[in-house]
Structures are given as C-alpha cells and as structure tokens.
Chain A
Amino acid sequence: MDCNTVTLETLSQCFLATLSPLPEPRRHAESTIATAADQPGFSLAVIRLISAPSAIDDQIRHAAAVNFKNHIRSRWSPSNPPTRDGIPPHSPIPDQEKEQIKNLIVKCMLSAPLRVQSQLSEALSVISSYDFPKLWPNLLPELVCAIKSATDYTVINGLLGAVNSIFKKFRFTYGTTDIRLDLKYCLDNFAAPLLEVFLRTAGGIVNAVSSGGGSPEILRRMFESQRLCCRIFLSLNSVELPEFFEDHMREWMTEFRIYLTTMYPAVIETDGTADNLRAAVCENLQLYMNKNEEEFKDYLSDFTSAVWTLLMTPSTSGSRDRLTITAIKFLTTISTSVHHSLFASPEALQQICHSIVFPNIRAQDEDEEMFEMNYIEYIRRDIEGSDMETRRRIVCELLKGIAVNYREQVMAIVVAHVQTMLSSYLSKPVENWKDKDCAIYLVVSLSTKKASGQMEAAHLIDVVNFFASAIVPELQSHDVNAAPMLKAGALKFFTVFQSQILKQNSVLFISDVIRFLGSESNVVHSYAANCIEKLLILKDNGLPRFSSSDITPFVQSLITNLFKVFQFPESQENHYVMKCVMRLLSVVDISDEVVSPCIGHLSMMLSEVCKNPKNPVFNHYLFEAIAALIGKSCEKNPTLITVFESNLFPVLQSILVNDITEFWPYAFQLFAQLVEISRPPLAQNYMQLFELLLSPDSWKRNANVPALARLLQAYLKKVPNELNSQGRLTQVLGIFNKLISQSSTEELGFYVLNTVVENLNYDVILPYIQNIWNVLFTRLQNQRTVRFIKSLLIFMSLVLVKHGHLVLVDSVNVVQANLFRVILEQVWIPNLQSITGFVEMKLAAVASTKLMCESSSLLDDSAVQVWISMLENIVSLLVKPEQDRVFEDTDVPDISENTGYTPSFVRLRNAGKKEEDPLKEIKDPKEFLVSSLASLSANTPGKWSSVIKIHLNANNKAALHEFCSTYNRSIV
C-alpha cells in the first residue's frame, strides 16, 4: 500500500467514520479498514497518519492509534494460531515492514498527544515482547538517548512509561538463563541512565519546591517521572540484586527516604501524586527487605521509622489506600524477617495494633459504599479471596506477621480489643455498630482457613461463646434491614464456623437465616443463601450433617423465600441464590406438590435469561437446578415427567430454534436426561429432535459434541431399533467418521462408536464393521498418537467383552489376513500399560485376560512369546501405580484449550448418568485374571504354570503369586 496523500486521506475518512453513531457508515468503514489491513504497508500508512503534521483531528489520530495497536497485537507474531471456526489467521506483517515500524515508532510516540502516546506505548510493548532485545538492538540505545536529551517531562514520562512496560516481564518470570541474559543487557544499558534521570529529576523537584513550587503541572509530572523510575527499579531488581544497584544503593535510598519524610506542597499532596510515588517507594523497600536483608540492613531502621511515621500521620489526600497497603506490606515483611525484633517491645506491639491495624480494619466510607452500590465486588473481596490488595486484608497480614514471633502478646492485645469493641457496641448499639463489625472481621480474618471454606479460630476466641453472645443476637434481630453490614458479618461468621457449632445449636437458627433471604440488602440476602448452601453440603466425617429429613420442615419457606429474592433489584440473576436453589433441589426430597411450582418458576427464569444470557455462572446453576429437580423427583415418581415435558419443551425448543448457542450443550443434556427417564415409544417431539441430532451440522460446534454424544447414547439405549431404520446408523457412523478425522475430536468419535457397540446387537453392526476398522486403521497408520492408541485399545476391548473374542479377531482379520496378530503385537500389548482411569483399566485388563485365555490366536503353541508378554503387561497394568506407567502425551492439543471464546461444554452434574461401567459384573480385574488363568491351566495342567515359571519376569511373577494367594486360586 502506497502511503500517498490519497490513501492517507481515505484512511483518515474511514477512521473518522468508525466513530460514527450511525451503524451503516460505521460498518462500511470498519470493513474497508479490515480489507486494507491485509495489504502490505498498511501499518506504515497508519503510523504516518498518526504522525502527520497536518491538522488532523485528534479523534482520528486516536482511532488510528487504537487500530494500529490492535493490528500489531494480532499480526506481529510470525506464527499466528488459526482462529476458531476455520477462519484463517491474519497474515503476519512482513519483516521489512516490521523493521520500518521499529524505526518509526519511538519518534512517533514522542511527538504524539498523550492519549495517542499511550496507545503507541502499548503497541511498542507488544512488539518488544516478541523482538526485544535480540531482534531490536536499537531500541534501548534510542530510548536512552532520548531520555538523556529530553527536558519536557511529558516526553520523559512517555519514554519511561515505555521502558517500564518493556521491563515489567522481569517481575513475573523465573531467572532462567535467557531471562538473565536479557536482564543483563537491560542493566548494562539502562541501570546508569535510570539513576541519572532519577537524580536529575530529584534535583529538579528540590529546586521547584524551594523556589515556591513553580507550575503545579510540571511538579506533578516530575513526581510521576520519579514514580516511573521506581517502577523500573522494581523490575530490574526483581530477579536478584544487580551489581550496579548494590554499588549505588546509597544514592537510591537517600532519595527514597526524602520522598517518605518530606511534606510537599498541597497541590501534589491532596491529589495523591506524592502518595503514588511513596507507594512505589514502599514497594521497592519491601522487595529489598524481602530479598536483600543483608545489604539493606543499614537502611532498615531509618526506613522503618519513616514508614511508621507516614502511617501515623493523617493524610491530606482523600484516599491513601495504595500507599497504606504498600507501607503495611513493608512492615509485614520486617515482622517476619530476621529483623523482627525491631517490633519486639510491648510498646511497639501495642502501637502497631492500636495505631495501624485496628483503625484500618474498621469499615470505612468506601467499604460502605461498595456494600451498597456494588454487592458482587464486595462479596468477591469479602469472602472469595479477591481482596489480596485491600486495606482490611493487608493489615490482618501484618497482624499475622507480628504474631509469628510474638504470638502470646499479640493475641492478648487482639482479644482485649475484641472485648472492648463488643462492650462499646453494647453501650450504644446504633452509633457503634462499626465496633462490633470490626470485632467480627478480626475474629474471622485471623482464623485459619480450612477445606471447603470453613474456618478454625484456634487460640483466639471460643467460637461457641462468641457465636452465642455476639452472633446469635444479630441473627435473631427482627428487622432484617437494620445495620446490614453487621448482619452480613454475622451471617459470614455463621457460615465459616458452621463446622464448629453443634448441629442441635445451628439448626435453631436456620429459620432465622431463611428470614434474611428477605433482606433488601443484596449482600445480606446473598450471604443468607450462601450460608444455607454451605449448611447443606457440610459434612461430618464424610457424611452430610443435615439429612433430607432435617431440612424438610424448612423446605416450603426456603423455596418461597429463595424465589422471592430474584425479585429484588440487582438480584434477578443472583448466582449465590441460584446456587442455593440448585443445592436444595439436589439434596432434599421435594414433595410432588412442590415440583410443579418449582419447575414453573425455573422454566420462566430460563426463558427470561434466554432473551439475553449474560451471567454464565447464574445460568449454569439454573440448568443444574432444573436437572436436579428432574433427577430427584422422577426417581421417585416417573410419571412426573409429563410435568417437566410440558414446562420445558417450549423453552428448550426455543433455544434450538433461536440458536442460542451457549445453551445448546445444556439443552441437549436436559433432553438426554428426559429421554432416559421416559418410556418408549418416545413422543413425537423427541423423534424430531433425533433427526436434528443426526444432522452433521449439529456436530460442527465442538462445545455441542459431548452433549450430543450423550444424547445419542440416551437414544441408543432407549430405542435401539429406531437406529436400525431409515439408514440412521449410516448417519451416526458418518458422524463418527467426521469426529475421528480430527485429533481434537477423536475422543468424541470413539465416544459415539463405543455407544453404538455397547448398545446394539452385533448383527446390526455387522454390515458396518469393516468400514469402521478401515477408518481406524488408516488413522492409526497416518497419525499414531498415544491418545489415539489408548482410545483404540479401549474400543477393541469393548467389542471383545460385549460381542466376544471371535467377533473381534475375525472381523479384524477380514480387513487383511493375520492383521489381528500384528495389531496385537505392535499396538495392543506395548500400549496396554498406558491405559489410565479405573473403569478403563479394568476393561482393558479383563479384555486382555479373556483374549489370552480364550482366543486360539494366543493359546497356540507358536504364540507363547506373545502370550507371555501379554501377561507381563496385564500384571504391570494391575500392579503399578498410574504415574509410574504413564508418560505425558504432549503431541495432541487439549480440546479445552481450543474452546476459548465459543460457548464451551460444561457438564451438568445433576443430569449425569449414573452408570458408565460396561463391566459391572466384574468387580476386581486381578481376581478375574487369576481365576481365568486357574481355569485355563486346569485344562492342561503343567503347561501354563511352567511357561509362567520360565518366562515371566521376577517382579511380575511375585505379583501374580500374590494375587493367587489373595484370591485363593492356583495355576497348576
């Protein structure tokens, strides 16, 4: 593409049009650009447009820059993975064009307005991630040179920002040789210039401040510049302490200390600019304290007191969260380091607790605001662990940190504080609710987390007493809407300590918790649902604590209240509540009268979410709830199926008709569940669906395939003869053919095939078996992966156990004379040990045993060697633990990785089949092996026992011997 003015003009028009509110011109422009993007030189044209001197609208520049960044992102990599759905990948940018881009981008970035600059900076870091440093040796020198000569802090910050994003990778990678080489290169070229610009700016700040401040904007930029230097410092120091930084530690630390201990003009204190720099400094200090205690120790006490003072000083900036968090992390690191004795004195411990920890644990305005305005985020932070970086969580870390070495003292302080908070609350409950909230938060946060989200409050408090005195009054409070944060805290406490509260105690409060489902606060009703859900799965020694009959008295009110929650604003798709519904329906026996309103509610909600599916978690639990309800109630009363059919068919059909793709896998699983429950002959609706199932189009989407295979299986089991008519089996095998041809779906192909073999009589399969073998063996010849061989082995085993060894051996030998022997020796026996999974292992072992004890092809005298190696492998398969037998098979991509953006298949547990074992009659493959061998040898005493004695290796002989004695059989 030539970059003459005409194309630039056209491009510029197009970019402008992409911002149009009208869909028509916008789409047209987008497609024009997309077409242009495939031509060589496109990116150069765009970059010229961005840097064009003429008075181009900033909007256009920005749109072009965004496009440029995306273009680079999708096309810089030389080997783009193919996109899904068979669309070929974007053509990569030619090398020559790449070189030109690399020559232009820094200059272009420097002259661009801020918004455009940040886009280009991102593009630059994308390019760097591939090319820097080896394929882009000019970059760093060019940046260094620009930084040295620049005086405008907008430019300097742009450059430092770019360096920062390029170097970030050092923070999160291991110090492998390659990384160390890159890091060394960066240090050699940038460590000194970084210090230089840092000191230069430091001087600039001193001058500006002493001369009365100058322009606040410039001062702000200088602070930002220092902050960026600190971030780069962090990246360069992350792998280990570099020589240059050790040699110049004093220079860095001196400036760091100045920033922590100086109060700057109000303009940069109030808007948080100074605090941002300080936060970056603290993070660096924390890194040094953590990794380089020894080199850092001379500075430690100065910095400890500086950080300490900072935390004690009330801030003038509105929110100091970031700084508070990094500063506290620094102190936490000290508390657990070899220098923990800095905090050893009782005064220090008191001060840390009372001046730093407790005030920061108190709910603050932001917490209250989030509680009300953004309940999902509040809950995620409060109970789902995404609060690593919150103030409340981080001070608890500090508390735990000092408790590592001063446990008794710290616990005494905390216990006393909890008591104080509780009594202060009691004196004025309305005003002082935050005191109690703080006490509850402390107790929960300092407990040890156990599996399944339960907690243990070792040493700190007596859970039972605390529950009775502080939590129960909240749970029994009449007004479900009063002091909602406190109620949420109480419900959280009850939820995480359930396992420590006796059943007869906790059962008393179930109806109270149900009441809180009616609270207007989203957090409170979500916590109530969560509490009940956890109660339902709580186990004592592996057994559920609450049986269905324990819950029965509450079912009616639970169901009523749970479904009411969905009417609250913001909670229409509350997944905590839907999860509770799902749990309830899968645990508790629902009486027949309740089934109908339940399924009515659920179907209605389903048709509602079909209009605009947006919360996949909620939708998943919704489908699970439906599946659970069907499963549980039809198990007791199969006639209820008509209720489900009448409620669900309309909405399930609309999912198929309206092509709501993300729901297809769910719909097929529900259909499968219904088919399995119904009695033949199947209703017309199902048979129509069967046609859809057999259409190859349905199988094109990967996510559908497991669900379709499952549905197919349901049909085959229920109405095997239907398959035999109208050439349907041919269609099924066509599907098998298609699936087996791609390595990503081959397992599903086998799934279909196994279903056919397992459920149909051999006379039905007979006409097709040659074709099946041909397909499989051709595939075997062309692409022999371990995964394929495993599946093939399982399939052959299944044919053998279902239809007998003669069927297997003879049908294979029809393909080619003596082929079975070849397969046996080259495929079956050598790969037997790679079989994993209990059911599969049992199947393969039993089939192999039958083969060697029944088939003349193995019992023949000429086959003794084969017979023995079969036995060796069966015994090894049965004896060795999986990890000793199996090597990683890395030659096949994992399907699940390929399903990124398209709807993926998620299995519904509640719609799951119960039986997957084709060999239920055989419990123990070891026993089967020795019994078979015992009967075989009884026919020709001495023959097989001597073969075993002579040929079997010692370990396996011992193992076999052990089986014999275990099962009391002998091989004579």
Chain B
Amino acid sequence: MEDEHCSSSPFAADFSSQKREGIKSSAVHNVAVLRRREIAIAIGKERRDALMLTKRLCRDVTVNNDEGSVESDMIVDEGKTDLNNQTLRAVENLKSSMSYLGKGSLQKKLEALKSLRRLLSKTNVPSIEVAIQAGAVPLLVDCLSFGASDEQLLETAWCLTNIAAGRTEQTESLMPALPMLIAHLGEKSSNRVTEQCAWALGNVAGEGQHPRNILLSQGVLLPLARLMQSDKASTARTSAWALSNLIKGPESKAATELIKINGVSEAILRHLKKQDEELATEVSWVVVYMSALSQLATSMLARNGIIPLLVEKLQGSESTQMLIPVLRSLGNFVAADNYTINSVLVVGQNMTNNVISALVKCLQSGHRILKKEAGWVMSNITAGSIEHKKLAYSSEATVVLLHLLSIATFEIKKEAAYALGNLCVAPREDQSQPDVITDHLVSIVERGCLKGFISLMKSPDIEAARIGLQFLELVLRGMPNGAGPKLVEKEDGIDAMERFQFHENEEIRNMANGLVDRYFGEDYGLDD
C-alpha cells in the first residue's frame, strides 16, 4: 500500500495514485472543522418573544382594564361583524369631522380619531382591512400635518401603528404616511409622539426588505439613531426595536450606515451598562444584526469594549429573552472578528473563564434555543487558538458537550459536534503545531464520542454529515499507533461512509470514498 499514496513526482508517474492524492488534498485534508461559522442570514424563526415580535400592535391598556376582558373573549363571528361595522362608522365619522370647519372642529376630529384608535386596538384581530377600504389612510396622513396638536399626532400615529401591524398589503398601503411619520421623529416633537411614530415605522420595517429600502431612502436612519441615544428608557427601547427591524438584512448597507452615525456605538455601550434588561434585549438585537452583517460595526463595537458588557449580561442574567440576542451577538463577534478572540477573550483573563462557565450554564439550561446558541458560540471559541482549545477542553464544557452529543436533539447535537471537533484540530496558520491535537482527540474518543459523530453522518442534513465525516477523518489519521481504523470499524463507521458512495454532494462523496479507499481499501497489490 505504501507507494499507493506516495506523492506524485517524476519518479512515480502513477496517475491513478495522483487521482487519489487529489481527492485527499482537496477534500479530506481541508479540515473545515476549523472554520468559524457565521450565521448572517436568518432563515428560521428569530425566537423573539411576544414583547419583541417583529411587528406588534399597540393595545389600549386602559380600555382592556375597564371593559376589555369580557369583550375580547366575546369576539366571535357576530362580534367581528359588529366590530367591522363600528370601524366603518368610525372612519366615516373621521371623514366628516375633517370636512367640518365650524367651531370645535379640532375637538371633533380628535374624538373621531380616538374612537377609531380604540377600535383598532381593541382586539388582537382589529378590522384593519375595513378601515383601509373605507379610506382611512389618506385621512390619517392629513391628520399628521405639521402644527397639529400632540394629542392628535399621538392618536394618528397609534392608528397607523396598528394598521402597519397587519398583513403585507395592509402595511404596504401605508406608504403615503411614511414621510410624515419620519418627520415627526424630529427633536421638535414630544416624546410620546416620537415614540409612537417610531413604533409605527418599526412595524413597517418589519414587513420586509422592500418597505425597509423605502424607509431608508426617506432618511429614517438618522432620526431613529438619535432617538436610540435618548436616556428615556421607553424611547431608547422602542427606537432600538425599530432599528433592529430596519437593519436586519439580508442587505447589509443599513447596518454599516447606522454604526457610522455619531454616538450610536457609545449609546449601545451605555445602554448595555444599565441594569434595564428590556432595554438591553432590544439593543442586543441591534447588535446581533450589526455584528452579523457589517464588518465595520463588528470591528468598531469590539474595539470600543462591547465584549465585556455582553459577557457580564451573559453571566448575570436568567432572562432567556435577553440571553438569546446576547449569545447570538457574542457568537458573531467571535466568528467574524479575530480581534475578539485574539485580544479580548484572551486565555488567562478572568473574563475568558467567565465566558466559558456562562456558556456551560446555558448548555445545561432547560431552554433548547439557549443550548443551541451557546453550543454555536462554544464551537466558535473552540475554533480559536490552541490555548482556547486547551482552556475549553479542561473546563466543564467537554463533559457537557459529550453528553449533549449523545442525547440531545439534532440541532444541539450538531453544535456540540462542531465544538468537540474543533477541540481536536490545531489551527492551520500556526505551522509549528501538529494538525491533530492528539490528547484531546484520544480523550474524547475514549469517552465514546465516535458513536455520536457517526450517527450525525446518517442525517439528511449535509453539514451534519460533513462534520461527522471530518471527525472520522481525524480519528483515522490522528489516533496514535494507527488505532483509528479499528475504532471506526468497530462503530460500524465503514458502513456509514459507504452510504456516501453515490451521494449527490460531490465534496462529501469524494471525501467518504477517499477515506474508505485510503484506510480500508482492499490490498490491490501484494508486493508490499
């Protein structure tokens, strides 16, 4: 077998072996286990709970307290028809109040607005469509004109907020109102008005990239960014939420634009220093998107000292709500910016130990999203320097990850696999280190992780299959005294690799076939 794999050279013009060599070097040796993984584009649910949904209604708290509790339960078909009729009447009312020019016209208009607002906030399914059909939008745009009273502006913005919380077409119908909503974000407006306008705009931005682009072209970023710098918690929170909707991608320009605005980076850090968890949650979502999409933002925030703040939140809080965006941000920083791992989370610093123990805590929590996110962050940390690997390896994390690999649900298992796999390979840049960190590999293999990796190979998930295969490669190549093949064989790994013989993914197919050939190929020649 020896010469079967010796490298090609003028002395061994053996093309068949060159081919094998090619497979080996292109796929198997390319230990992508090392790669840190960024998750910039959200496909799945973002796991923002009730308070922080991408779109939210502004419910009328007082109304609910007074009369709503019974009422909302009673909204059945009949009630719905009733509500539709009332809404229709309210819009008609508003229309006539606006054409009325006599005494008390302002008051009349306000009353009409209020009753429309009440109807639009009454239930979780307000009659938005009816209001739009009846022509509410142009009326409301009128009501936003400059010089109107704060109360009128507030009621109007409130109505628009709830219309914007509706379906796509309903949100899109609000386009004519956007310039005025943005105009009222300015410094001259009262707090309550700006906040409500920000809320309405946040709902519009939550709709998708198209309305987002319109809002951005109308200059929404700057006034919202200023609002986020407010020291009034509710203002900062609402505008942070609206901003997070605005910059969430997939286009990355807005995130970069935002960080360039004076004071934004400082405001983010300032808010994160506060004890206010609701505020920190919203701000963290802004950080999530910035760190996922914008290299500039990532680098600025990291250098301005965001990491210690995130770590502190991670350690000190039990709020799942907040921990999710904090973990996600932290993972992004570690993945996208070497500064974080090389200069902030330095091994030997207390903070680094703290991160690991906080991650272990999340990995052990009962909340699966936390587990998954923490596993992902851990895998990015174990993709760091050799010292990081040693630190993580000697911490509690190893046991916890091994446990998760054997019993957790798939998505968590996969993250644990990445984290454990990374523990065993040395960074390629550092040529003085061997490829495989033998003692880590030996120890986790001895503790029975091979089964878990092989079971991942049987998954229809391509990435899981690849990580399983890559780990197998490490075992085959890296276990001392050539013990790898026997171990793989014992766990029925040959069979698992042979499944990829005809797989559609070329890289995986070549890698699996290359490994089987190399480590289990039949003895073709007998002259060795």
Chain A proximity of B256: nearest CB distance (Å): 16
Is A290 in contact with B459, judged by CB distance below 8 angstroms?
yes
The contact string, 1 if C-beta is below 8 Å from chain A, for chain B 1-44, is 00000111111111111110010010001000000001011111
Q: Given A172-B462, A243-B43, check contact A837 B523 (CB 8 Å).
A: no
Option from A188, A539, A836 in Cβ contact (under 8 Å) with B523? A539
The residue from A174, A180, A385 contacting B462, defined by CB atoms under 8 A apart: A174
Q: Would you give the shortest CB distance from B172 to chain A, in whole angstroms?
A: 14
**Shortest beta-carbon distance, B436 to chain A, in Å?**
10
Say yes or no for A731: interface residue by CB 8 A criterion: no
Query: Which residues of the partner chain B approach A747 to less than 8 Å between Cβ atoms?
Result: 8-10, 13
Q: How many residues of B contact A (CB 8 A)?
A: 67
A291 in contact with B459 (CB, 8 Å): yes
Report whether A909 and B250 are in contact in the complex, using a CB–CB cutoff of 8 Å.
no
Q: Which of A234-242, A406-414, A805-813 contacts B (4 or more CB under 8 A)?
A: A234-242
Q: Does A153 contact B (CB under 8 A)?
A: no
**CB proximity to B under 8 Å, residues A428-472:** 448-453
Report if B98 contacts A (CB, 8 A): no
Q: Is the CB of B10 within 8 A of A750?
A: yes
Contacts of A897 in B (CB 8 A): 22
Q: Is A692 an interface residue (CB 8 A)?
A: no
B368 proximity list for chain A (CB < 8 A): 294
Query: Which of the residues B250, B460, B504, B522 comes within 8 Å of A184, measured between beta carbons?
Result: B250
Q: Is the CB of B22 within 8 A of A837?
A: no
How far is A864 from B420 in the complex, measured between Cα atoms in Å? 49
B44–A241 touching, CB < 8 Å: yes
Asked if B208 is at the interface of the complex by the 8 Å CB criterion, the answer is: yes
Partner of A837, one of B12, B208, B526: B12
Q: Which stretch, A99-107, A787-795, A865-873, touches the partner chain B?
A: A787-795
| Cβ-defined partner of B520 (8 Å) among A290, A338, A452, A587 | A452
Using Cβ atoms and an 8 Å threshold, which residues of chain A touch B502?
Answer: 386, 388
Partner of A291, one of B410, B431, B525: B410
In the bound complex, how far is the Cα of B13 from the Cα of A709, in angstroms?
9
Q: Chain A, 883-903, contact with B by CB distance < 8 Å: what is the 0/1 string?
A: 110001000001111010000
Whether the pair A895, B462 counts as a contact (CB closer than 8 A) is no
Q: Is the CB of A794 within 8 A of B10?
A: yes
Chain A residues in 8 Å Cβ range of B25: 888
The answer to whether A678 has its CB under 8 Å from any CB of chain B is no
A544 and B12 form a contact (CB under 8 A): no
CB nearest to A904 among chain B residues: B15
A703-732 vs B, Cβ < 8 Å mask (1 yes, 0 no):
000100110000000000000000000000
Given A294-B409, A909-B524, A336 contacting B10 (CB threshold 8 A): no
Cα of A905 to Cα of B522 in the assembled complex, Å = 21
Whether B15 lies near A706 (C-beta < 8 A) is yes
Chain B residues with Cβ below 8 Å from A512 are none
Determine if B60 is an interface residue (Cβ-Cβ < 8 Å). Answer: no
> A173 touching B7 by the CB < 8 A rule?
no
Within 8 A of A (CB), among B117-163: none
* B178-213 interface code vs A (CB 8 A; 1 in, 0 out): 000000000000000000000000000000110000
The complex places the Cα of A336 from the Cα of B460 at a distance, in Å, of: 14
Tell me whether A452 and B504 are in contact in the complex, defined as CB-CB below 8 angstroms, given that A795-B10, A883-B435 are known contacts: no
CA distance A770 to B9 in the complex (A): 24
State A172–B503 Cα separation when bound (angstroms): 9
The smallest beta-carbon distance between A796 and chain B, in angstroms, is 12
Interface check A482, CB cutoff 8 A: no
Contact flags A735-764 to B (C-beta < 8 A → 1, else 0):
000000000000110110110000000000
Docked-complex contact A172 and B504, CB < 8 angstroms: yes
Which residues of chain B have C-beta atoms less than 8 A from A909's C-beta? Answer: 524-525, 527
**Does A473 reach chain B (CB closer than 8 Å)?**
no
Bits for A777-799, please: 1 = Cβ < 8 Å to B, else 0. 00000000000001100110000
Chain A residues whose C-beta falls within 8 Å of the C-beta of B461 in the assembled complex = 238, 290-291
Q: How far is the CA of A793 from the CA of B220 in the complex (A)?
A: 65
Instruction: Give B506's nearest chain A residue, CB to CB.
Output: A172
Quick check: is B312 within 8 A (CB to CB) of the other chain?
A: no
Q: How far is the CA of A555 from the CA of B394 in the complex (A)?
A: 61
Q: With an 8 A cutoff between CB atoms, is A151 at the interface?
A: no
Q: Are B410 and A896 in contact (CB under 8 A)?
A: no
Q: How far is the CB of A894 from chain B (nearest CB, A)?
A: 5
Residue of A nearest to B451 (CB): A404
A821-850 at interface with B (beta carbon < 8 Å): 836-840
Given the contacts A188-B208, A290-B459, A747-B9, A174 and B466 also touching, CB distance less than 8 Å: yes
Closest 9 CB pairs of A and B: A180-B41, A750-B10, A836-B7, A451-B520, A896-B19, A706-B13, A449-B494, A172-B504, A909-B525
Q: Which residues of A contact B (CB under 8 A)?
A: 171-175, 177, 180-181, 183-184, 187-188, 238-243, 246-247, 286-287, 290-294, 336-338, 385-386, 388, 400, 448-453, 537, 539, 544, 586-587, 706, 709-710, 747-748, 750-751, 753-754, 790-791, 794-795, 836-840, 881, 883-884, 888, 894-897, 899, 904-907, 909-910, 912, 914, 916, 918
A-B contact pairs, 12 of them (CB 8 A): A180-B40, A239-B43, A292-B410, A292-B411, A338-B409, A451-B519, A453-B522, A753-B10, A836-B9, A840-B9, A888-B25, A912-B525
